[in-house]
Structure 1
Amino acid sequence: LPPPRLEYGKGNGGRQIILTPKDGAWNSTEFKFFESASCESFGFVSFLPPHKASMLQEFCLQIVRTCRSTGIEMPDSPKFYEQARKNDTVEMVLKRIADKYDRDGIKCDLVFVALFSSEQYAQVKSCGDITFGLVTQCILPKTISDVAIKKNYSTMLNIAMKINMKIGGINTKLLDDE
């Protein structure tokens, strides 16, 4: 079977971008998503040690730039930053955030969660996404490093694709066979 052709949004020249994967991969620089979502506000939770804060700021900067380059509307910085304390559980931190949303009438489209370890992932998804109704994007230390230090565009683009889907966008559309 020939690979499907993928339709994205308009490129820099204003023309619709159509890509055909080769060997299961495709080069996807300088394109917009088929339908880019809008993220009016986002938050950030860190379970990493406090001295990692500057690396997390750089991560945010790079992800916001990448999201905007693909058409996602996104503010410059998070609406809130929550540093987990030493004895905090995932549930305690996410409950504090959910309570603050309710109390202050805050609307937040996405919460980045910097995990200390992959074991926290299931807890974040259970408590955040299911119990408290938060749309979360978990990130591990290696991913943070790939974005903030190594500036790995593939990693940034993969995160942007996940974000776009989570907040209601459509990354690409399969073109009908001719």
Structure 2
Amino acid sequence: AAAVDAVSREQRIASLCKQAGFQCDPFLHEFGLQINPKMYEMIGRVLTPPRILFGENNRKTDPIVMPKDGVWSMDDQRLYLPASCHSYSMIAMVNPREQNHLQAFCQALTQKANQVGMEFPNWPDLVKYGRTKEDVVILFNEIATEYKQTGTSCDLVIVVLPNKNADLYMTVKECSDMIHGIMSQCILMKNIMRPSPATCCNMILKMNMKLGGINSRIVADSITQKYLIDVPTIVIGIDVTHPTQHEERQNIPSVAAIVANLDLYPQSYGANIKIQRKCRESVVYLLDAVRERLVSFYKTTHQKPIRIIVYRDGVSEGQFSELYGNKSFLSY
């Protein structure tokens, strides 16, 4: 949904135009220009919302949900393909005195997970407390070491953050994704204090996808069936993120991301992240990344894609010729 609804946005634009006084502007009059105070009207269309399929359940609830105004309810629904979390740990960047709140949240999270069909432990194996981003590194190392010593594995680390802190968050993701290869899920302490069913459900949807599950599927209409389902199809998304002016002075590179589905029904996705020279829009290592995505698709489906659909973001008109002339596969 938009941050500002259409009616409020229209009223704001009309008010700004009125304040600008275009009708009395001597410069516009000198050039013989007039601005119509009314917005341009054109014919639009509203797309029919796709139906969403959840998992089968023993209740009388219909697993197919029709969204209304862009939202839908998961009440009495189960995940389409629930993942299993056999063990998890928690890093709490808060005062240890908050243990009671953490325990209440874990109980609420487990209860909601069971309701939607996800296997989830009642309590984390390890709970560790810290304050700084240096503590995050130490605590992740401790968790990885303790699991290794017991010969078990950690499926997930839940990290409780005191507030929105970019440095802490970045350190958590670096430790979990890049160093130890353990999935992580962050949550703010203010949401721990009041663990509503909606908060727990939102957490579970994120964790289920990270652990390899599928939350829901789109019920295919005739067009989706024809262009995505009938033949093996791989959908590839490509984008390049560039450093800001401040980051550019620190010689921070650009990051290229290549994402593609792993299954025949485009629902599970894998990604490749490549570092390249800053402010370069073309993807330097595209061939290797696309090859990895194609191999992953084949390993999962045991089929080669018949159709390849590419979505390329972030290309301005001035860059079309550059990317079109690049000989790298799918560089445009």
Q: TM-score, normalised by structure 2?
A: 0.50
Deviations 1:119-142 (A, max 9, x none): 211110111221111111111112
Q: For residue 15 of structure 1, report the CA deviation from its aligned partner.
A: 6.5
Percent identical residues: 34
Residue 200 of structure 2 corresponds to residue 156 of structure 1: yes
On the 8 A contact 1:11/1:31 being kept in 2, the answer is yes
In structure 1, C-alpha distance between the alignment counterparts of 2:109 and 2:77, rounded to whole Å: 16
Partner of 2:81: 35
On the 8 A contact 1:12/1:30 being kept in 2, the answer is no
On the 8 A contact 2:133/2:171 being kept in 1, the answer is no
Letter in 2 for 1:168: G
On the 8 A contact 1:68/1:74 being kept in 2, the answer is yes
In structure 2, C-alpha distance between the alignment counterparts of 1:11 and 1:101, rounded to whole Å: 35
Partner of 2:215: 171
Deviations 1:53-76 (A, max 9, x none): 110000100001111110001122
Partner of 2:188: 140
Deviations 1:22-47 (A, max 9, x none): 11101210111000111111111111
In structure 2, C-alpha distance between the alignment counterparts of 1:116 and 1:143, rounded to whole Å: 10
Count of residue pairs the alignment pairs up: 174
Q: Aligned in 2, Cα 1:22/1:15: closer, same or farther, shift over 3 Å?
A: closer
In structure 1, C-alpha distance between the alignment counterparts of 2:67 and 2:50, rounded to whole Å: 7
Range 110-119 or range 34-43, more displaced:
110-119
Partner of 1:62: 108
Indicate which of 47, 65, 72 corresponds to 1:19: 65
Q: Aligned in 2, Cα 1:166/1:11: closer, same or farther, shift over 3 Å?
A: same
RMSD: 1.8
On the 8 A contact 1:9/1:16 being kept in 2, the answer is no
Partner of 1:8: 54
On the 8 A contact 1:37/1:72 being kept in 2, the answer is yes
Unaligned runs of 5+ in 2: 1-46, 223-332
Range 23-32 or range 79-88, more displaced:
79-88
1:35-114 equivalences in 2 (<5 Å): 35-84=81-130, 89-114=135-160
| 1:10 counterpart SS class | coil
Q: Aligned in 2, Cα 1:159/1:87: closer, same or farther, shift over 3 Å?
A: closer
Letter in 2 for 1:121: Y
- Flag the structure with larger Rg: 2
Q: For residue 13 of structure 1, report the CA deviation from its aligned partner.
A: 2.2
Letter in 2 for 1:153: P
| 2:53 counterpart SS class | strand
Deviations 1:138-161 (A, max 9, x none): 1111221231xxxx2211111110
Q: Aligned in 2, Cα 1:146/1:172: closer, same or farther, shift over 3 Å?
A: same
Unaligned runs of 5+ in 1: none
Range 88-97 or range 2-11, more displaced:
88-97
Partner of 1:123: 171
Range 153-162 or range 11-20, more displaced:
11-20
Q: Which has the higher contact order (CA 8 A, sep 6+)?
A: 1
Q: For residue 107 of structure 1, report the CA deviation from its aligned partner.
A: 1.1
Q: TM-score, normalised by structure 1?
A: 0.90
